[in-house]
Copies of this chain bind each other. A is one copy, B any other.
Amino acid sequence: MQISHSQLANMEQRFRATLINSIPGYKCLQMVGTSNRDGISNIGLFNSIFHLGANPALLGMVFRPLTPEHDTFNNIMETGHYTFNNVLPWFYKQAHQTSASYPSEESEFSICGFNKQYLSEFKAPFVQESNIKIGLEFRECIDVSINNTKILIGEVVHILLDEHILGDDGYIDHTKAETVTVVGLDSYFTTQQLERLPFAKANGKLNKQITQHKV
């Protein structure tokens, strides 16, 4: 079937939001840990995180048009620090619950059952229950005028992880970690590895025959 631009424009709003959020496929899911200057902690659930560069190590994330009380954004602006924490199969329900709209003075850590973990001189809390944790320092905020979103860029300044998850060549084994992925805003998945492939070379051999079958 084919959906045209004008059909998209005329869609019922929630239908279109669900469609556009889910159509690109699996996304990078992170619980974002922050704290305001009074030490009130927060967890926000994000699926709009993307790789921007490895040297320096930069990750981007998208904020929808902001309401004044957006705790995650405000906390990052106040302290300059935030954390990414992966979601695991035994707490994806609690992670999802952090996406509910709680008052700023309440912490999703205690409401949803997570424990805070701090590093000295780093102002944002990590989620103790995660097994891959990234500490970031704010670098840049880009205003996207086309739809009033913001793209926030941070540099990786800390990594905390279980040692067996890190491979000899730097590869993080999310199968061992059991990292959960997401489609849209609400559909959670575990994964099974097909294969890790070698760097593709133009003179490499390839079977061009594509046949639909289960692998």
Contact = CB atoms under 8 A, between A and B. Distances in A.
Interface residues of A, number: 124
A169 interface: yes
Contacts of A211: 90
Contacts of A190: 191-192, 194, 215
Interface string A115-156: 000010000000001001010000110101011010101001
A184 B54 CA distance: 11
A28 B25 contact: yes
Contacts of A169: 14-15, 18
Interface stretch (A3-11, A33-41, A66-74): A3-11
Given A13-B55, A17-B55, A194-B180, A202 B23 contact: no
Contacts of A11: 170
A153 B147 CA distance: 11
A77 interface: no
B189 A194 contact: yes
B179 A25 contact: yes
B20 A54 contact: yes
Interface of A: 1-5, 8-9, 11, 13-30, 47-60, 62, 64, 84, 86, 88-94, 96-102, 111-114, 119, 129, 132, 134, 139-140, 142, 144, 146-147, 149, 151, 153, 156-163, 166-167, 169-172, 174-175, 179-181, 183-184, 186-202, 204, 206-215
